[in-house]
Structure 1
Amino acid sequence: MTDDDDLTKRLLAAGRTADRTLSPGAREATVAELLAGLAAPDPDEPADLYGDGVVARLERRVAELLGMEDAAFFPSGTMAQQIALRCWAGRTGNPVVALHPMSHPELWEGGALSLVSGLRTVHPTTDPRQPTAEEVADLAEPFGTLMLELPLRDAGFLLPSWEELEALVGAARERDAVVHFDGARLWESTVHFGRPLEEIAGLADSVYVSFYKSLGGLSGAALAGSSSLVAEARVWRHRYGGQVFRQFPQALSALAGLDGELPRLPSYVAQARMVAGALAEALADGPVPWFRINPETPHTHQFQVWLPYGADRLTEAGVRLAEETGAVLFRRWSPAPVPGVSVTELTVTAPGLTWTREEVHEAARAFTARL
């Protein structure tokens, strides 16, 4: 067993037995716990076949929430988004997609946009922030689709302001381009924008949303848009191997997330802002020479913390804190683009709502003491 394997085991054990945590770790759930969350409202309802029944009910619910004509369930967000961008390329006659280089298709999909779908990308900016309307307007070549990741996860879960978002969409329209939102985490953006979901989604021609990133579902995603776009996407879904025989477990967990987690997301955002502020206070008074909370006031219920230490050292300190005090503050750290600096992501969900400012201070001080 490697040192990393041992650390992973310790992380899982500490997370499962912790007295306090900001959010459960994805690897900590057991099969029994996940199955317990799949109780059907009507246990006599027939199981779906290739996406009818409960899956179709989920699709109608998503379309209604986003104010779109229709929505289609996909086994993964990667597939949903690949197909959306491919459809738009065919409809606009332009295979070029303008998007941020830190967006999901560029970082986490193995070059599939070009290798699988024959698309090409251009970048309005390379800075770790949302692009501006001016940068979209000034792109040197035509593009068929502007894709905006809302929020931009790898830059710190960053959102533009509502006025900036309207301007970005307007700039794309001026370039005769369509607009697609990568809304994997769009559900929790309503607090920052001060707008309901349907108004936010209504700015775009199509929107992809995830069922597990914020809603706690097993897996799966949906693509929403016009009836004609979604009908075309369903054809491509079959071609891509996404016409799965049974999908009711994912659909049931997604519906449970829409019922249970979606209404609570604004409270998670508010608590994340408290936690971020309390962390900044504790770190500023502690022994660390430098830190960064990114963004300083979180746009969603997730944000980054940067510290000038090696990732293994920071992860070990977090594991020891959990093992010795029962409080999970940080989990895994990763090397940042800056040498000698590491970064981690913090998420606040239901378990984190019980934390007080003083408890965050205490956990942060105990963490830095273990460095």
Structure 2
Amino acid sequence: MKETVSLKEAFRNCSYRLGGHGKYNVGALKEAFQDIEGTLESDIYGKGKVIEDFQDKMAALLGKEAAVFFPSGTMAQQIALRIWCDEKGIKKVAYHPLSHLEIHEQDGLKKLHSIETVLLADKTRVIEIEDIVSMEEEVSSVLLELPQREIGGQLPSFETLEKISAFCQEKKIRLHLDGARLLEVLPYYGKSAAEVCTLFDSVYMSFYKGIGGIAGAILAGSESFIEESKVWKRRYGGDLISLYPYIISSDYYYNQRYEKMPLYYEQAKVLAGHFNSCEHISTLPEVPVSNMFHVYFQLPAEQTEKVLAELQQETGIGITSYLNSSGENACYFEISLGDSFEDVPKEKVTETFGILKEKMKTATLSQ
């Protein structure tokens, strides 16, 4: 009998993984550059064909006048909100309590720009039109994250987005889209990227999350907005002498995976069904609205970790490398579907969840 190892080590040793695009290593850069001519000229401080062509391509995709490539989404979004604050002369923005800017950026917006935040809705649900209409404080802009990652990737209806957009236009409040995973929500909405983005004044999209590039982000909007963002990009130190490794990998993996987003979405619904068929396991949302969702266990994290580590060792199927506690007797992890799920033999998936069902029954009886 194998000696039980940690959850992280068991995951690392698996032959297959249910989520993601495969192991994250330098091979991604090598693959992206395999057909690139060595004579291709580098971008220089934000100028040059390699960066300008990609920016134009993304502006067209998002239906905006212009776009600029940033090394990080954190930089891009802080700059976007600063521009909207300066435009209106009000240093207040509104967003969800679990926005990336609020919980993952060390108060960058507040410390670097002295921008105050107004938190909309409660932590368990998405922002609705009523949350914005009932705001008592005047703000320069509202940020919407699609999907809302920290609550399982939930989404407001498209009709709600239209209502929020119309209200913000009427009140002259700028609407910014945190679209880090924008491409992943398009199958659920049944809309093009441009159709979604036309509701927003500015848009950010990531190239390393669902797309699987090395790093980098795009910020898109009007010509004047993008020109101002380029000034701030220089101030932030984001104008590296060259960004072509990020741009080339972003373009390569965008081309590889853009049309596969509907497949990832359908696979997510199938996988969520497997988890929900197990006793004391549930997903949020129950039926995914993108390629990502959260998996909840009604067991303490320490006990669940043992179950999953043993399962991954026995089957060679990687489910997760970590767990987050969500209470004394509950825990969860996040999963995003990508290329890896296609490589897992379907009979292995069925076998793995059959074993998981039995392990969950045993674990709950031993409590």
Alignment TM-score, normalising by the size of structure 2 = 0.91
1:279 equivalenced with 2:268 (yes/no): no
Distance in 2 between the 1:10 and 1:355 partners? 17
1:42 equivalenced with 2:56 (yes/no): no
Please state how far the C-alpha of 1:10 moved relative to its aligned partner.
4.0
Query: Counterpart in 1 of 2:91?
Result: 95
Q: Is the 8 A contact 2:11 2:319 kept in 1?
A: no
Distance in 2 between the 1:40 and 1:204 partners? 36
Distance in 2 between the 1:248 and 1:40 partners? 14
Query: Counterpart in 2 of 1:67?
Result: 63
Alignment partner of 2:79 out of 83, 91, 104: 83
**Alpha-carbon deviations, 1:38-67, whole Å to 9, x = none?**
234433211221233312221111101001
Alignment partner of 2:159 out of 158, 163, 184: 163
Matches within 5 A, 1:298-313: 298-313=288-303
The 1:33–1:134 alpha-carbon spacing in structure 2 relative to 1, beyond 3 Å, is closer
Q: Is the 8 A contact 1:23 1:351 kept in 2?
A: yes
Please state how far the C-alpha of 1:252 moved relative to its aligned partner.
0.6
**Alpha-carbon deviations, 1:91-130, whole Å to 9, x = none?**
1211111100111101100111111111111122114221
1:112 equivalenced with 2:102 (yes/no): no
Distance in 2 between the 1:351 and 1:362 partners? 17
Q: Is the 8 A contact 2:95 2:144 kept in 1?
A: yes
**Alpha-carbon deviations, 1:127-154, whole Å to 9, x = none?**
4221111110011111110100011000
The 1:240–1:66 alpha-carbon spacing in structure 2 relative to 1, beyond 3 Å, is same
Distance in 1 between the 2:21 and 2:225 partners? 36
1:193 equivalenced with 2:189 (yes/no): yes
Alignment partner of 2:257 out of 235, 256, 261: 261
The 1:65–1:351 alpha-carbon spacing in structure 2 relative to 1, beyond 3 Å, is same
Q: Residue type matched to 2:26 in 1?
A: V
The 1:191–1:33 alpha-carbon spacing in structure 2 relative to 1, beyond 3 Å, is closer
Q: Residue type matched to 2:218 in 1?
A: A
Distance in 1 between the 2:30 and 2:343 partners? 26
Report percent identity of matched pairs. 32
Please state how far the C-alpha of 1:357 moved relative to its aligned partner.
6.8
Alignment partner of 2:351 out of 347, 359, 362: 362
Please state how far the C-alpha of 1:275 moved relative to its aligned partner.
1.1
Please state how far the C-alpha of 1:164 moved relative to its aligned partner.
1.1
Distance in 2 between the 1:40 and 1:90 partners? 44
Q: Is the 8 A contact 1:180 1:207 kept in 2?
A: yes
Distance in 1 between the 2:6 and 2:210 partners? 29
Segment of structure 1 superposing worse, 314-323 or 249-258 = 314-323
Alignment partner of 1:329 out of 319, 322, 332: 319
The 1:11–1:22 alpha-carbon spacing in structure 2 relative to 1, beyond 3 Å, is closer
Query: Counterpart in 2 of 1:8?
Result: 8
**Alpha-carbon deviations, 1:67-103, whole Å to 9, x = none?**
1111111110000000000001001211111100111
Query: Counterpart in 1 of 2:25?
Result: 30
Distance in 2 between the 1:357 and 1:296 partners? 22
Query: Counterpart in 2 of 1:176?
Result: 172
Q: Is the 8 A contact 1:24 1:351 kept in 2?
A: yes
Q: What number of residue pairs does the alignment pair up?
A: 355
**Alpha-carbon deviations, 1:229-286, whole Å to 9, x = none?**
01100000110111111211100110012210111111100111111112212x1xxx
Give the match's secondary structure for 2:113: coil
1:53 equivalenced with 2:74 (yes/no): no
Q: Is the 8 A contact 1:304 1:345 kept in 2?
A: yes
1:126 equivalenced with 2:122 (yes/no): yes
Q: Is the 8 A contact 1:10 1:319 kept in 2?
A: yes
Query: Counterpart in 2 of 1:349?
Result: 338
Query: Counterpart in 1 of 2:307?
Result: 317
Q: Residue type matched to 2:100 in 1?
A: H
Q: Where do 5+ consecutive residues of structure 1 fail to align?
A: none
Q: Residue type matched to 2:294 in 1?
A: Q
| Structure with larger RCO (C-alpha < 8 A, sep 6+) | 2
Q: Residue type matched to 2:41 in 1?
A: P
1:207 equivalenced with 2:200 (yes/no): no
Distance in 2 between the 1:25 and 1:269 partners? 14
Query: Counterpart in 2 of 1:223?
Result: 219
Distance in 2 between the 1:231 and 1:222 partners? 14
Distance in 1 between the 2:254 and 2:79 partners? 24
**Alpha-carbon deviations, 1:3-39, whole Å to 9, x = none?**
xx96534432x14xx1x3223477x333245323323
Segment of structure 1 superposing worse, 51-60 or 101-110 = 51-60
Give the match's secondary structure for 1:116: helix
**Alpha-carbon deviations, 1:273-318, whole Å to 9, x = none?**
111112212x1xxxx4x33211011010010111112223323332
Distance in 1 between the 2:336 and 2:39 partners? 37
Alignment partner of 2:235 out of 234, 239, 242: 239
Q: Residue type matched to 1:240 in 2?
A: Y
Q: Residue type matched to 1:364 in 2?
A: F
Give the match's secondary structure for 2:294: strand
Distance in 1 between the 2:113 and 2:99 partners? 17
